[in-house]
Amino acid sequence: MTSIELLFWVSGGLIVILALWALATSRGRYDQIGAGISFLNWSILLISVALYLSDSYRLFHWGEISFGIAAAYLPFSWLLFTLYWGRDPSEQGQLDRRRLMLFAAFALATAFAIADVAGPVLTYFPGTIINGYFMLSGGTLLLILYYLWAFLTGFYNIENCYRTALGSQKRRLAGGLYLSLIVTATVFFVATLEFLWDRIPLWVFVATAICAPIVALLMLIHLRRHDPRTLGVVVTRRSAYSSIVIINGGIFFLVVGILAQVFRGLERSEALLLPALSVLLVIILFISIYMLNRMQGRSRSTQASPYRSSTKLDYRQFIDEISESSTTHEILERLQVLLQSNYGVESGVMIETAEGDHYLVSRLNGGQRPLEKRRVYEVVEWLHRFGRPVIWDDLKERTPEFDKDHRALTSMLDFQPYMLVPVIGRKDLIGTLILSAPSGAEADPAELGQLLESISGPLALAIRNTRVTEQLLRAKELESFHKVSSFVLHDLKNSVGMLDLLLANARTNLDDPEFRESMLETIGDAIRRQRRIIARLTDSPSKDIDVSPVDINEIVRQAISKTQVRKIERIALQEQLSDLPTVPGDRQKLASVFENLIVNAIEAMPVKGSLNIQTTLDGTDRNNQQVCVVITDSGSGMSEEFMHTKLFQPFMSTKKKGLGIGMYQSREVVRQLGGDIKVESEQGKGTQFTVCLPIQKQAHE
């Protein structure tokens, strides 16, 4: 046995071991099963070449038969591998529809195998590594075309899956892409040699025998590191986008054939073919890059053009507005205005990701509620991997195994879902939009999907920014609290220290008159210090009330004028001011109360809404009559829990930049004047504040 034979035996044996290990550890993974079958083909091909090189005629004959069968089935096994490589198992429905292609490949492989058994496909002409060569015979052209079709289609499958992957998925798949490119390039190179020279040199097989075990090992390591069952790619790219691979592959071999005929017609040396081939490969590479960039640019311009010329709400203005929003609620309201005005989308929700066991479901027009993650987690994670808008019916077709999640989604909505959009920012899933169907004959679902895909990134970043801002404000509030606490604790510490020192001296100096006098002064000073501390913590800002008869209608008009609500185009203002008697109150403090309520109402309606301000006289008995100011808005509203537990508490606010002091101060002012503030609110429908003040001065308890 020569050293070359030994090389092929060792190489084939190593690949057999890798193939058996791949099949034994596959555990139902179709991609790894396909890789294992493909590796077995590789090993049989290499061992068949070793048999070809043997001096034994019997072994040589078995080499002819085994090589023909393995060569026939290699493209089929490679297709089987690439069809499932890196793909999400939930694509099983789409993969099953490609069974026809696999069946065709298997039928062709069987036909070629039968033909090769009848007449050997490979003939060996002995010689050295440089001079020895193999020639294909018996249907050579058909076999080569079969190989090119199968390996081009296989690489198209892998390239399509790789380009669809997002973020870390793409990095994980890069190794498999490059390894498959090496395999495809090797097949192209061998086919090119056959086209040009009608033979394959022995050194090509020797180089393959050296590299094949390394490629197989690296491919198997890649497969073990990336399990599509845990993080698979949902392929979404259109075939036209990847058809560059097949188009340029066909162009390459067309030019190669023409080039070979030209060289033969001119009787040029075949040695010049390799430099010409190298130049051709470089040209094809640049053509591929150029075509790819052109298609990407055309795709971007096609997506952007409907909005550049649109006379409807400009989506770029929308992006500017959400970037300046301070709350997620404002962002969602602006999104609803955009979708409703352009496409007639009436309803929608955002499933926001959050820590813990629940998502936060926010309606676009206001209102929130929690949703248990376990109910819809699989669908949400699938959408994250999918990375693009998807129609509801298409989602159900792609993910039939998530039927419980589908039912959970529809049960929580008061509308039929039409389109789902993953909102992804910097590879992280910020939330999932679920929208109702667009209305109107002019509504184009494809255009709606393009819009949502184009604004998904800015929308995710805007929501992320509001969350970061909220965290920063909370940190500042906590820092302010710590500062106040440090001052208070410092004063308390001094007072306690003085009293502790006094107690220690009193045990021995209590009979001393001077000590007793000093002790009384120290105790008095400590008491005064403690009162100052208590006053700092408990005294209301409204304690210095200056009571005098005031005209409530006049104060309300001044508040309306000062807030300039009449000049805000998006707010429809209605005033209903009745004839009222004067009431005892503080003009400045009451003006501050009404201004605060009006400003809050305006901020609760960032897009559009109505504001109704009404004054009434309540009660018939003068001793119990009250003047009431009712301020009603159609804004976002508040939850019942917030109204009852946090609304009038200091440092509690629904506004990201609010300090939570305004409502606390307002109620304190009104109560100091013997009145009260009542509130009624419902999320998504608005809020009504009613400020009532007695006509006659009453003592506040």
pLDDT, averaged per 10 consecutive residues of the chain (701 residues), comes to 84 92 87 90 88 77 80 87 80 65 85 77 73 69 78 82 72 85 82 71 86 92 83 60 54 59 56 57 58 48 39 60 78 83 84 81 82 86 85 83 87 88 85 85 68 83 80 67 58 62 69 74 68 57 69 90 78 90 88 86 86 87 83 87 72 48 78 88 89 72 39
Contacts with 19 (C-beta within 8 Å, 6 or more apart), sequence order: 36, 37, 39, 40, 42, 43, 216
Say if residue 517 is in the same domain as residue 656: no
**Angle at CA of residue 284, ends 280 and 288, nearest 5°:** 170
At 129 the pLDDT is 77
Measure Cα distances from 357 to 353, 360, 372, 428 in Å: 10, 10, 6, 18
SS3 348: strand
- Contact status, residue 601 vs residue 687, Cβ threshold 8 Å: yes
At 305 the pLDDT is 36
Contacts with 526 (C-beta within 8 Å, 6 or more apart), sequence order: 495, 498, 499
Tell me which of 193, 212, 237 is where a domain ends: 237
- Contact status, residue 52 vs residue 4, Cβ threshold 8 Å: no
Torsions phi, psi for 421 (to 5 deg): -130, 115
Q: CATH number for the domain including 427?
A: 3.30.450.40
Say if residue 98 is in the same domain as residue 219: yes
| Region for residue 167 given its phi and psi (left: phi exceeds 0; alpha: psi -120 to 50; beta: otherwise) | left
What one-character DSSP code corresponds to residue 364?
Answer: T
How many Å apart are CA 354 and CA 373, to the nearest integer? 9
Q: Does any domain span residue 111?
A: yes
What one-character DSSP code corresponds to residue 687?
Answer: E
Say if residue 79 is in the same domain as residue 219: yes
Q: Does any domain span residue 699?
A: no
3-state secondary structure string, 220-234? Answer: HHHHHHCCHHHHCEC
Structure tokens at 587: 């003009």
Q: Does any domain span residue 701?
A: no
Q: Does any domain span residue 630?
A: yes
Q: Does any domain span residue 216?
A: yes
What one-character DSSP code corresponds to residue 198?
Answer: S
Residue carrying the six token digits 């305006």: 602
Query: Domain limits at 285?
Result: 238-308
Say if residue 417 is in the same domain as residue 356: yes
Q: Does any domain span residue 393?
A: yes
Say if residue 103 is in the same domain as residue 43: yes
Say if residue 507 is in the same domain as residue 417: no
Q: CATH number for the domain including 23?
A: 1.20.1070
Nearest to 448 by CA among 310, 652, 584: 310
How many Å apart are CA 263 and CA 257, to the nearest integer? 10
Tell me which of 264, 292, 308 is where a domain ends: 308
3-state secondary structure string, 241-300? Answer: HHCHHHHHHHHHHHHHHHHHHHHHHCCCCHHHHHHHHHHHHHHHHHHHHHHHHHHHHHHH
How many Å apart are CA 234 and CA 89, to the nearest integer? 9
Say if residue 455 is in the same domain as residue 534: no
Say if residue 604 is in the same domain as residue 650: yes
Which amino acid is residue 512, in one-letter code?
Answer: D
Q: Does any domain span residue 609?
A: yes
Say if residue 219 is in the same domain as residue 116: yes
Say if residue 81 is in the same domain as residue 195: yes
How many Å apart are CA 74 and CA 672, to the nearest integer? 90
Q: Does any domain span residue 457?
A: yes
Tell me which of 520, 538, 556 is where a domain ends: 538
Structure tokens at 147: 């190989």
Domain total of the chain: 5
SS3 601: helix
Nearest to 626 by CA among 694, 686, 561, 574: 694
Say if residue 284 is in the same domain as residue 360: no
Structure tokens at 127: 């010689």
How many Å apart are CA 284 and CA 185, to the nearest integer? 13
At 612 the pLDDT is 93
Contacts with 568 (C-beta within 8 Å, 6 or more apart), sequence order: 602
Nearest to 562 by CA among 607, 605, 604, 592: 592
Say if residue 230 is in the same domain as residue 250: no
